[in-house]
Amino acid sequence: MDYLYFAIRRLLQAVLVMFVISLIGFSIQDNLGDPLRELVGQSVSEKERQALRDRMGLNDPFFIQYGRFLGKAVQGDLGNSYFFKKPALEVIAAKFPATLELVIGATIIIISFALPFGVYCAIRPKSWFAKFIMGFSIIGISVPVFLTAIFSIYIFSVELGWMPSFGRGETRDLLGWNSGFFTQDGLVHLVLPSISLASIMMPLFIRLIRSEMMEILQMEYIRFAWAKGLLPRRVWFLHAFKNTLLPVITVGGVQVGTMLAYTILTESVFQWPGMGFLFLEAVNRVDTPLIIAYIIVVGLIFVVTNTFVDLLYTWVNPTVKLVGQKS
Amino acid sequence: MALLEVTDLEVEFPLVRKTLKAIHGISFNLEKGERLGIVGESGAGKSVAAFAVLNLLSKPGRISNGKIRFEDVELSGLDAKSMRHIRGNRISMIFQDPMMTLNPVLTVGTQMIECLKAHRKISNSDARELSITKLREVLIPSPENRMKSYPHELSGGMRQRVVIAIALLTDPSIIIADEPTTALDVTIQAEIMTLMLDLCKTKNLGLILITHDLAVVSQVTERILVMYAGRVVEEGLTRDVINNPRHPYTRGLIKALPQENKPGERLNQIRGTMPSLGAIPPGCAFNPRCDFADNACELEVPDLMGADSHRAACIHMDKIPAFSDEEAGK
């Protein structure tokens, strides 16, 4: 019951945030070039243009246009892409699996390396391996993602010829999800883009996990756990690790959103046919409905992941009281 | 032979530039079922001494010299596995702040059962039963429900009871309690101390009680060790030390207690503060703060002197006047 109440409140907040995002997104429309020029080209006279403007409602006041946009948006209609002549949402939905694939690939890489490395660096801060990881992570933080991407293409595709240099590879349908995860060719294509995308977050997570865990290991309850005569692995991986997870989850949730933003860079370097690549093309073509739709979809993903993280946080941390819960 | 024998224990903290000595060779024994108090101001080395026994010193602290014998086992330099067998099993600890001692993200039940399972082959359900029994022994109401509670759902006093129950789980022969009531309300302090005293008596448990609260020590312990700047300055039976202190420091501590028959009067205090580890004065470390000090006090560190049952480390101990009736608060 409390959980339901909390979820409803959280949902209302999410709706409010989405409303603001849509307002900002839509206000771009008036300032991002003339949609008519993209639609009809040079040969149409100014009089015909005005008539077309009236018919499309582009001369109406901002809020009437916005109201119309919002009314359609809640029904899942974000307008038609000028370039593709198809609903913008449909265009984005077609590219979404590719981007999701990339984000999942990068997340798997981050979790499977950052967690063990971070924990190791916290437990054995003086070992040479921990020092090596920390030194390396400084480099990782400082090198921009497009540089990592270009270098990895140069080394592994051009020089060594181990990996394909661009594109998504073969995909296959499984349970309604069309993805490169299910074919060998798709997986091979995924390796370099995932690594470059992960490289930007990985050092941050290793450092975050290390510093949080080192702080936790100084806590009195950890000393008490030692005093109880527990095995080191129980003290480290249960008592300390569970407490370390709390801040890591909070930061991690926000970073998933940031990672989506970085897919724009990664996808354009690797010519990955995802949402980010699509967005860059849309900007070049002044495809305003598509740009707005992209902003709203990404905003929605941000809001959904953050809501999910909040729910996860209350589940991991028993001391967090749900909003509105009677104690 | 005593249950626990600490001989010439020295603890040091090697820092980047120099090494600080926190404990300069202290010795004490604890007999089976005996209750020993270690008193002194903050920084005297009481807690360090206690943590050294179980080798739980904060980094970079280490035992640089001395012997710690427990039931014929030498604890200093013991391998990790054998040490784990002692910790929480044969010798338990109770920490100062119950708000900080229990892990906030694990239930009381988890934190109790894991301790039992670390030391015995026992099924989960048996461990649960035994934990509930121990919670009942420390007078926690509806222990079955408390097993499912998280620490933040309990009051400070209840948490300290849980900590005591955890310390009792494996029927240890010694409990080391580091200021177990300092973080609690005065009324709760008395309840917890009474509970601990009862448990120690009925189970014939050895207790090392570390505190700066002389009132608590005088009610609970049989013997007292007074520490100052990493050394024992006085030791003896509790009633002897409290009624007839032979070291000026102990005398100052007792005189600093508020007395019931003198309300509204200014409390006595020992002038100055405990020296930091890096700046311990030559000779008797207490001499700059001492009313009885003269030049001789600065020459060398005095040894403990006097009869075995009551010894003090003061070259002027015979000159220290006994408490007048007024000073003793009678």
Instruction: Enumerate the domain spans of chain A.
Output: 88-316
Provide the pLDDT for residue B206.
93
In A, which residues are within 8 Å of B80 by CB distance? 232
In B, which residues are within 8 Å of A221 by CB distance? 100-104
Provide the pLDDT for residue A178.
66
The residue with greater pLDDT, A140 or A175, is A140
Strands (E), chain A: 172-174, 177-179
Provide the pLDDT for residue A327.
38
Q: Please identify every stretch of chain B with a pLDDT value under 50, giving residue numbers as ranges.
A: 329-330
pLDDT, one tens digit per residue, over A120-136 is: 999 998 889 999 989 88
pLDDT, one tens digit per residue, over B220-235 is: 999 999 999 989 999 9
**Mean pLDDT score of chain A, rounded to an integer?**
82
The residue with greater pLDDT, A185 or B328, is A185
In B, which residues are within 8 Å of A122 by CB distance? none
Range from A86-100, A254-268, B99-113 carrying the lowest mean pLDDT: A254-268
Q: Which of B84, B102, B163 sits opposite A229 (nearest CB)?
A: B84
Provide the pLDDT for residue B174.
94
- Contact status of B55 with chain A (Cβ, < 8 Å): no
Range from A182-191, A263-272, B120-129, B274-283 carrying the lowest mean pLDDT: A182-191
| Mean pLDDT, residues A30-38 | 66
Secondary structure class of B107 (helix, strand, coil): coil
Q: Which of A221, A229, A239 sits opposite B100 (nearest CB)?
A: A221
Q: CB neighbours (10 Å) of residue A35? A: 19
Tell me the H-state helices in chain B.
Answer: 46-53, 80-86, 98-101, 108-119, 124-137, 143-146, 156-168, 186-203, 214-220, 238-243, 248-255
Would the CB atoms of A229 and B85 count as touching at under 8 Å?
Answer: yes
**Rounded-to-integer distance, Cα A204 and Cα A198, Å:** 10
**Interfacial A residues in 286-325 facing B (CB < 8 Å):** 316-319
**Rounded-to-integer distance, Cα B43 and Cα B320, Å:** 25
Q: Please give, rounded to a whole number of angstroms, the shortest distance from the CA of B57 to a CA of chain A.
A: 9
Would the CB atoms of A224 and B101 count as touching at under 8 Å?
Answer: yes
- Contact status of B117 with chain A (Cβ, < 8 Å): no
Provide the pLDDT for residue A321.
57
Is residue A250 scored above 90 in pLDDT?
Answer: no
Q: Which of B87, B100, B114 sits opposite A234 (nearest CB)?
A: B114
For an interface test with A, give the residue of B79, B114, B179 to mutate (most A CBs within 10 A): B114
Nearest alpha-carbon partner for A291 in A33, A17, A52, A20: A33
Q: Please give, rounded to a whole number of angstroms, the shortest distance from the CA of A134 to a CA of chain B.
A: 21
Burial of B234 (0-12, 13-18, 19+ CB in 10 A): buried
Say if strands B19-30 and B4-14 run parallel, antiparallel, or are unpaired: antiparallel
In A, which residues are within 8 Å of B163 by CB distance? 224
**Rounded-to-integer distance, Cα A95 and Cα A103, Å:** 13
Is residue A138 scored above 70 in pLDDT?
Answer: yes
| CATH class belonging to A88-316 | mainly alpha
**Rounded-to-integer distance, Cα A108 and Cα A85, Å:** 36
pLDDT, one tens digit per residue, over A145-180 is: 778 888 887 887 777 777 777 777 666 666 666 666
- Contact status of B313 with chain A (Cβ, < 8 Å): no
- Contact status of B126 with chain A (Cβ, < 8 Å): no
In DSSP terms, B29 is beta-bridged to: B5
Structure tokens at A232: 């080191």
Burial of A75 (0-12, 13-18, 19+ CB in 10 A): exposed
DSSP for A175-220, please give it. TTEEEGGGSHHHHHHHHHHHHHHHHHHHHHHHHHHHHHHHHHHTSH
Would the CB atoms of B118 and A230 count as touching at under 8 Å?
Answer: yes
For an interface test with B, give the residue of A123, A126, A224, A248 to mutate (most B CBs within 10 A): A224
Can you give the pTM of this predicted structure?
0.81
Q: Give me the half-sphere count of Cα atoms (radius 13 Å) on the Cβ side of residue B54.
A: 29
pLDDT, one tens digit per residue, over B246-256 is: 899 998 888 88
In A, which residues are within 8 Å of B102 by CB distance? 221, 224
